[in-house]
Amino acid sequence: MKPVKSLGAFSLAMMNIAIVGSVQLITASSTYGLPVVFFYLIAALVFFIPCILVTKELAIRYPTIGGVFIWVEHALGKKMGFFTVCILWLANLIWYPTIFSFIVAGIAYLFKPELADSKVYMVSGVLILFWAITFLNCFGIRVSSLISTLGSLFGILLPMFLLLIMGLVWYVKGGQSNVQFTKEQFLPNFSHFANWAFLIQIIISLSGIEMSAVHAGDVRNPKKDFPRSLLYSGCAIFIILISASLSIAMVLPSKEISLVSGVFNAFKQYLGDFGLAYLLPLIGSFVILGNFGNVSSWMISSTRAMHVACQHCHLPHYFQATNRYEAPVGILILEAILFSIICLVFLLLPSVNASYWTLLDLASQVALLYYILIFTSAILLRWRLKHKKYAINFPAIVGGLAAAGAIFVGFLPPESIGMGSAMIYRLVLGLGILLAVLIPIVLLQFSHKEK
């Protein structure tokens, strides 16, 4: 029986918002104040818009399950397709401890804030939640799509809209803002080159729009649904990320913003000023739901892409295993095991902010390698197909150069976060990137066994 195609423009848009519109990442961007608007505009022009244009064209041209792997496979071959998808999968593994520590800290913040300082609570909470969401993703794309939709509506759009409204009302009422809305404050301090390290975080906060293409085979009408979903979600994402970042920056001093609990601190401040402190548990629950939707969308999308790549490259049967819901259970379980090891290392480090940023930066740099390969594939496919309407050369070149530049900038430790020795920081990043590159090369050595 032919499988039912269950995804439309609305589901795709909600999935995009759940993937890209991370409440977690706005805390880091809010530490930079008003110049964050400048950085978001630059990131949109050189990275976000190119990603949207490339995704639209390639998703319509290759409307099958697999997304990025299918694109790179057609341009550079199966092995490079596998390498690209595996790079993203590893980037997510590095990132997952940060998002789950954010969720667990948020739960503690609502009931017993001091628990966030307990390593036993953090480790056990992160592991329980990750294995729980792995279990939910084993029920396939329909369940994951439902989680993404609910997370987008109630956990991302609603909290960020509330941040925007409360920030505006608080500012109009004469609240003491930590952000001065002047022309001079809009531009960053170019004399401190290390401050450009935040650009990589801004760029990566706009990444992931292409991940919905991995489900192209489940989309009812790709030619109509993909362009609509990308337009709607792209505009919504850009507006809510900027407005929410500024709302946090206005009410919290830059040096006091916690990368883990900054959003909850901002809501606590606003709700307290408005006499609505009793709503904090409810809104905090919505924020946690949004991050659940965010990580669920990333997990099912990256594991499905990895599963398709493993099938095409004939990796051992375990990597190709699926259940009756067509969920890639083999990769999901392997991912959970590797995550358990990584998060234990992360959560045992002494400085929360420093370790949090290091993992976030490393995950971003590894992910940007993946984007360079996507943009390169888009250019090669354009040259081979010689299709006049397939005009994505310029945005693909701009996006590729922006990703490469962001990787370089990522080696600069930001001044507002105490990172310790800059040399050790760069060494950790360099070794992490090298390891991420070597892992897919090693895995490909097993591909011949299943031919």
pLDDT of 89 higher than 70:
yes
Tell me what pLDDT residue 351 has.
Answer: 56
Percentage with pLDDT > 70 across the chain: 79
pLDDT of 451 higher than 70:
no
Of 289-293, 369-373, 376-380, the one with minimum mean pLDDT is 289-293
Give Cα separations from 323 to 139, 328, 330, 332 (angstroms).
Answer: 8, 7, 9, 11
DSSP state letters, 316-341: -HHHH---TT---HHHHHHHHHHHHH
Report pLDDT digits (tens) over 100-113.
887 888 888 777 87
pLDDT of 254 higher than 60:
yes
| Cα–Cα distance measured from residue 50 to residue 370, given in angstroms and rounded to the nearest whole number | 14
Phi, psi of 86 (to 5 degrees): -65, -35
- pLDDT confidence bin for 338, thresholds 50/70/90: confident
3-state secondary structure of 1: coil
- pLDDT confidence bin for 291, thresholds 50/70/90: confident
pLDDT of 3 higher than 50:
no
Tell me what pLDDT residue 299 has.
Answer: 78
Give Cα separations from 3 to 220, 322, 326 (angstroms).
Answer: 11, 15, 11
Averaged pLDDT, 143-168: 76
| Cα–Cα distance measured from residue 381 to residue 72, given in angstroms and rounded to the nearest whole number | 9
**316: exposed, middle or buried (C-beta count within 10 Å: 0-12, 13-18, 19+)?**
middle
What is the length of the chain? 451
Question: Which residues partner with 219 through β-bridges?
Answer: 7
DSSP state letters, 163-200: HHHHHHHHHHTT---SS--SHHHHS--TT-GGGGHHHH
Which class would CATH give 9-450? mainly alpha
Of 194-203, 312-321, 440-449, the one with minimum mean pLDDT is 194-203
Instruction: Answer for the pair 130, 98: CB distance below 8 angstroms, yes or no.
Output: no
Tell me what pLDDT residue 434 has.
Answer: 92
pLDDT of 151 higher than 60:
yes
Tell me what pLDDT residue 421 has.
Answer: 66
Average pLDDT, the chain: 78
- Residue 267 carries which side chain, given as an amino acid letter? F
Percentage with pLDDT > 90 across the chain: 2
Residue 219 DSSP label: B
